[in-house]
A and B are shown apart, each in its own frame.
Chain A
Amino acid sequence: MAEELLRKTFQVRGRDFDKAGETAAEIKQILKGLGIDSGLIHRAVVIAFEAEMNVVMYASEGTITFVLTDEDIRLEITDNGPGIENIEMALTEGFSTASDEMREMGFGFGMGLPNIRKNSDGFNIESQVGVGTTVAAMIGLDSSA
């Protein structure tokens, strides 16, 4: 069993574009402070940032839970957004349900979830239409960038 060293849960407010990305930046500072390998930090914060943007764009609220164990970095992102009808499509690069407003923000080009999966060693997504979405990502501390 992996030993849990650190656990932190952050609240993310939907539609708050000014603050969107602050949680990922905070996780970056925590990991840097712990002396984690920069390649692993890069992967973890790209996951956190893409997931945070998804919450801000699609949901009214959500949480990002960051866990560091002696074996891995885990991120779990849960939101109360509209849910994803077709997860397989949502994981396809280029597929997007984004609005023009989201695209004007520089997001919603169908690369968010694929970017999250690409940077993860373990990845899971569960979603229920009308209820919300939970994304879980894991990066092994001994994995290479």
Chain B
Amino acid sequence: MRLAEIKDVLQCEVLTGQEDLSAEVQTVVASDGMSEILAFARPGALMLTGLTNIQSVRTADIANVRAIVYIRGKRPDKKVIDLAREKNIPILATGLGMFDVCGMLRELGLRGGM
């Protein structure tokens, strides 16, 4: 599924990576715990998290995550967005909560990393 479709479904704002929204993702990893992301993300997964600090982007980079969606209306600092841009990791932000986002993406055919 293309990031652009995910953006529309979740009514996301694009914080960086507008030019990469044609990228496809098939799996999703969702957690506020970074070790869980590192343990369960498949390469190229979409990462859902409520953690908006710089470690979220570093974790995404280490785990080879394709893009990040920040949930619950959270917004990162500028330095976080700058690092994501440097690492070519698009960042989307939605006002929806974790449960709803996971449910919606699962209905659309996306799956977890297990």
Contact = CB atoms under 8 A, between A and B. Distances in A.
A35 B28 CA distance: 27
A107 B51 CA distance: 10
Task: Decide if the interface of chain B is mainly helix, strand, loop or mixed.
Answer: helix
Interface in B50-68: 51, 53-56, 58-59, 61-64
B27 to A, nearest CB: 15
Interface string B13-38: 00000000000000000001111101
A107 B38 contact: no
A94 to B, nearest CB: 11
Contacts of A45: 62
Contacts of B78: none
A106 interface: yes
A110 to B, nearest CB: 8
A75 to B, nearest CB: 13
Q: Which of B32, B35, B39, B55 has the most CB of A within 10 A?
A: B35
A106 B56 contact: yes
B61 A106 contact: no
Contacts of A3: none
Interface stretch (A15-23, A77-85, A124-132, A134-142): A15-23
Nearest to B61: A25
B36 A49 contact: no
Interface in A1-47: 17-18, 20-22, 24-25, 28, 38, 42, 45-46
Contact of A21 (B39, B51, B58): B58
Q: Which of B33, B54, B62 has the most CB of A within 10 A?
A: B62
Nearest to B51: A106
Interface string B40-84: 000100000101011110110111100000000000000100000
For the complex of A and B, 4 pairs with smallest distance between CB atoms: A21-B58, A111-B35, A106-B34, A106-B51
